[in-house]
Amino acid sequence: MEGDMFASQPPADGLDGRQDEPTAIVVHGNGFARDCIVKTISAELAPLRVQGVGSVDELPRNCATQIALILIETSGTSLADPAVVERLEKVKLTCPGVPIIVLSDRDSAVLKAMSLGIRGFLSSSDNLGIGIAALRLILAGGNYFSHVTEMALNQQLHETSRGEITSFSASAIDLDATASVIDTNQISALTHGITKREAQVLAFLQHGLPNKSIANQLSLSENTVKVHVRRLMQKLNARNRTEVVLASQRFQ
């Protein structure tokens, strides 16, 4: 029987006694799946140390200086469940500033993850290459939200009025909620080549939003957003959106 990654367990004091090494933590209730994920991430992101635990309560008490990121698998569990939200908030308090990534089989949960200030959302439908690239991006200070973000927004768009979905998505993506958020005025001051509008687009790129969602947030056409993204790529000497986000870290 699979364990419950949100089950209550005694908190740990440290990570295998090696508290001076940055460590990625995989929280997964299924031991076999957890070990597979740990071994894969260890091989792909070496020399980063990776450790698996069965529930969030097995995280060490003082983990802010030990943990590089926390990947929490929530398949079969709703992020709308108050008990789950409470646990995630507890992780954020226990490990302040540590990026939290959710791995879920419920694509609609991406919106709830964004509203909770989670730094990344991986869908169980994402392949391994995407998952590893997303983890690299988050370790570098960025954010990643799966391709399902746009589909989830579009689905809610059909269920509610356009005004409601725009309001929800704007409040869900709190641009001051994570350390990776960039100050658009600071960027404009430091790099005269990047306009304030391009800096706004860049802030949303850091949160993993697709062009259509960025266009809705900024009241622009999708084609205009594409132009801004291309200009950012040119100015930051980047070949793709991921490299744009990575290059932008020097402005923080």
* pLDDT at 227 > cutoff 50: yes
Q: What is the pLDDT of residues 85-119, one digit of tens each?
A: 888 888 888 888 899 999 988 876 677 777 788 88
Residue 51's pLDDT band (boundaries 50, 70, 90)? very high
Strands of the sheet with 23-27, listed across from one edge: 49-53, 23-27, 67-73, 100-104, 120-123, 144-145
Residue 161's pLDDT band (boundaries 50, 70, 90)? very low
Q: Which domains does the chain have, with CATH numbers?
A: 23-149 (3.40.50.2300), 182-251 (1.10.10.10)
Residue 247's pLDDT band (boundaries 50, 70, 90)? confident
Share the mean pLDDT of the chain. Answer: 75
Nearest to 246 by CA among 191, 194, 182, 193: 182
∠203-208-211 over CA atoms, to 5°?
Answer: 80
Cα separation, 160 vs 118, in Å, equals 24
